[in-house]
Structure 1
């Protein structure tokens, strides 16, 4: 009978802690400035003293940042959380279970967010290509020749993209394909020699 009564109590404690983890992810990894310490305390732990909540927030944020920076797989996560539960002033077993559940569902999104935050330069977001016939040219002999048109979308996450359009005639396309083949051969030789 006591075990049945403890289960709803443990589940009731898990909900605000999961909310805390989601709040930490929102403000730390997803850039949501609306999530503040005060908001989290008021919404999730209203009866907790500010200093006590600040300590819980700092400890939990540290744990989540450690997990995220190492991009822990499930085995690493289990070992890390076990160590955290045995550490004086560490997390509880219930908190470790909630963190494991949280990490399983948020790992990819947090990893992608960290990658996007670490990019300094634009990256290739999309590329498309097509073969077309040249319909305008300064020289009449170039009309109706096939051309490859490559369109690239470049940009940083959360910013407006730039578009780059390239046009290749047959000789330029063949030249580019030869260069790409040389690059592929170089990469293959370097990876096979190690």
Structure 2
């Protein structure tokens, strides 16, 4: 039976905890979208809306999202972290998933949050020690930890760098034996006049 103060229309405890954490990261409308995509219904089995999230937060005493809260807590988004590290957003995401940079994602689909101090520390730790060329105008292609070990394999879709190396050797040999269609053209250039 129902206990005192409880009724059959309740939301699971994990959903309550999730909404508490998501309210610190995003506005109500985005929380509703995320919960609907995750397949977590309301207590009555309905889908979430912005109004239902607002009412749920109010009923459970959860504070509304403030845009400035990220900065107050010393957190930055995935996009900001990628910009600071001077890498693409996908590279930063791979680095976070592999644990190369420390970040937190409350649940799948929620935004990644990184400590503001961790990202510049990573960049200084992995900064190049010396210039690769004497010419200061020349830019060097610099691979960081993730790219030096895994980038080639990801680019070609291989799990192992050894597999990538094998295919690269085969490809080089095949390309070297392949004749260009331009070599087979017999054109004579005659001056016009």
What TM-score, normalized to structure 2?
0.25
**Greater helix fraction, Structure 1 or Structure 2:** 1
**Greater strand fraction, Structure 1 or Structure 2:** 1
What TM-score, normalized to structure 1?
0.25
